[in-house]
Amino acid sequence: MQNKWMCLHLLHLFSTLFFFKLCPICIVPQNQTGDSEFFLLGLSDDPELQTLLFGLFLAMYLVTMLGNLLIILAIISDSHLHTPMYFFLSNLSLADISFSSTTVPKMLVNLQTYSKSITYAGCLTQVTFFSLFASLESLLLAVMAYDRLVAICQPLHYLLIMNSRLCGLCVLLSFLLSLLDSQLHYLMVSQLTFCADVEIPNFFCDPSQLLNLACSDTSTNNILTYFIGVIFGGVPLSGILFSYTRIVSSILRVSSSEGKYKVFSTCGSHLSVVCLFYGTGLGVYLSSTVSSSLRKGAVASVVYTVVTPMVNPFIYSLRNRDIKSALWRVIRRIA
């Protein structure tokens, strides 16, 4: 059983790295906009503030990488954590690393060099990977909610239902659906026509903002964007809400308050991450529609794209004794 979980970890890691290697070959501009200049306006134009922002975001990025890598190493190295819940958690940590790496390195380069430019191919690459890993995280959170549902509502059949084959299939299917989502976003953006200079009021190429900046008609693309959002965002959220509705009803049937707390504590960390991910995502959407300041929307995007991947490891490690003990063992080995 332990060998199966180890193979699944390695298979998913290699498949992700293989995709990273091949995807840039596929992202070739097929648009006359390829010679246009794209500019990421970022968070501030003040040179002194940019130096401060560089140090802040570099520290946050390093914490994100270190925290999520430690979670992955702890789960792989500890045989007691070779269970479905921690298998999904390791994949979520890998998705967090990839999600943050899509936007933050380019922002750090621009802050360090006081440059705002990004190539058309680079912008398409950001759109593709941003959509891929945002969708992957959403789907993994839905799968983890189902895992908690089975663990609480059918504890005696948990390992029989959530076997290694089903877990591997869930992660693979999540990745393939996310890949489909990313390719749809890539096709939409690559068919747009942009003017000579495109100034994006953000620190990364946000697909929704690119639609607003296009010179060509985007009515069809807007409809398709809402449709994709409902499918890849609304459906996983509905699955999470359904799972927790069943979980809450199961908890209410427990007579003792101690038993209720024990049952709910098994999914408290996941529920916190779900609220953080969807709460910040909804906040970004509302800030972009309500606020007239585009820079405020960029600041709200920081919470969604930078802060959330950074705090996820802390949420799981602080609320989980098994993870904490495994992390200390990994840190002692490294030290």
Residue tagged 């995709």 (tokens): 19
In three state form, how does the secondary structure of the chain look? CHHHHHHHHHHHHHHHHHHHHHHHHHCCCCCHHHHCEEEECCCCCCHHHHHHHHHHHHHHHHHHHHHHHHHHHHHHHCHHHCCHHHHHHHHHHHHHHHHHHHHHHHHHHHHHHCCCEECHHHHHHHHHHHHHHHHHHHHHHHHHHHHHHHHHHCHHHHHHHCCHHHHHHHHHHHHHHHHHHHHHHHHHHHCCCCCCEEEECCCCCCHHHHHHHCCCCCHHHHHHHHHHHHHHHHHHHHHHHHHHHHHHHHHHCCCCHHHHHHHHHCCHHHHHHHHHHHHHHHHHHHHHHHCCCHHHHHHHHHHHHHHHHHHHHHHHHHCCHHHHHHHHHHHHHHC
Q: What's the confidence (pLDDT) of residue 304? A: 81
> For residue 5, what pLDDT is reported?
53
End-to-end alpha carbon distance in the chain = 30
Cβ atoms of 274 and 141 closer than 8 Å = yes
Residue with tokens 């193979």: 7
pLDDT of residue 19: 45
Q: In this predicted structure, what is the pLDDT of residue 242?
A: 94
Q: Which pLDDT value is given to residue 12?
A: 52
Written as six digits, the tokens of 10 are: 């390695």
Domains annotated for the chain, with CATH where assigned, are 1-9+39-334 (1.20.1070.10)
Mean pLDDT by 10 residues, the chain (335 residues): 51 46 40 65 82 93 94 89 92 95 92 87 92 94 94 89 94 96 92 82 87 83 86 91 90 76 77 87 66 64 87 83 82 78
The predicted pLDDT at position 17 comes to 42
Res 252: pLDDT: 82
User: pLDDT at position 295, please?
Assistant: 62
Cβ count near 164 (within 10 Å): 18
Q: 183-194: string of b/e by CB count within 10 Å (b at 16+)?
A: ebbbebbbebeb
Q: Nearest to residue 309, comparing CAs of 103, 153, 45?
A: 103
User: Considering the entire predicted model, what is its pTM?
Assistant: 0.85
Ramachandran angles phi, psi of 143, nearest 5°:
-65, -40
What tokens does 301 get? 């995007």
Phi then psi dihedrals of residue 43, to 5 deg: -100, -25
Q: What is the pLDDT of residue 21?
A: 41
Q: Which two tokens stand for residue 116?
A: 């705002």
- The pLDDT of residue 160: 92
What pLDDT sits at residue 92?
95
Please say whether the beta carbons of 210 and 118 come within 8 A.
no
Note the pLDDT of residue 230: 87
